[in-house]
């Protein structure tokens, strides 16, 4: 799978660890920054990852900031992106199964306290159910066209 990943300064260290894990699993990873721990603006990285996901250049995206919320808000402004903050195995599973989430947002502040490896595995392996959920995702997609 092709994955775009980005983080601000607060997510910089976690991003490096995630890249290593994803590459070990055989994914192709595009690191869209930040490339150091100097203060940076999370909307820049959310936009970069969002554009690659929304255009189909990559299959999925991962974003990390302090809370995960800022990058989530910013990424969802990009057409074609369905971003959400996941904090446990259940939210990771349901974000894929019911919402076809294509950008996973993580909190650098809590990443050490959650089963990140398991959460990522669930997020990558859980398929979108479709059915009634496809109708709802399509309604979200149509909102982008207005």
Catalytic residues: 65, 98
User: Rounded distance, CA 14 to CA 62, Å?
Assistant: 11
User: Rounded distance, CA 117 to CA 132, Å?
Assistant: 30
Tokens representing 37 are: 């721990």
Determine contact, residues 123/96, Cβ cutoff 8 Å: yes
Whole-number Cα distances in Å, 120 to 44, 117, 131, 137, 140: 23, 5, 24, 22, 24
Phi, psi (degrees; rounded to nearest 5) at 119:
-65, -45
């Amino acid at each position: 799978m092709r994955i775009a990943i980005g983080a601000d300064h607060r997510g910089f260290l976690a991003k490096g660890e995630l890249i290593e894990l994803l590459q070990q699993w055989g994914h192709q990873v595009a690191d869209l920054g930040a490339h150091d721990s100097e203060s940076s603006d999370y909307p820049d990285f959310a936009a970069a990852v969002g554009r690659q996901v929304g255009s189909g250049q990559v299959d999925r995206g991962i974003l990390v900031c302090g809370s995960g919320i800022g990058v989530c808000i910013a990424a969802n402004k990009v057409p074609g992106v369905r971003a959400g903050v996941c904090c446990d195995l259940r939210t990771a599973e349901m974000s894929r199964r019911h919402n076809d989430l294509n950008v996973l947002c993580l909190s650098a502040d809590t990443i050490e306290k959650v089963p990140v490896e398991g959460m990522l595995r669930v997020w990558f392996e859980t398929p979108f159910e479709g059915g009634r959920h496809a109708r709802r995702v399509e309604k979200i997609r149509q909102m982008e066209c207005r």
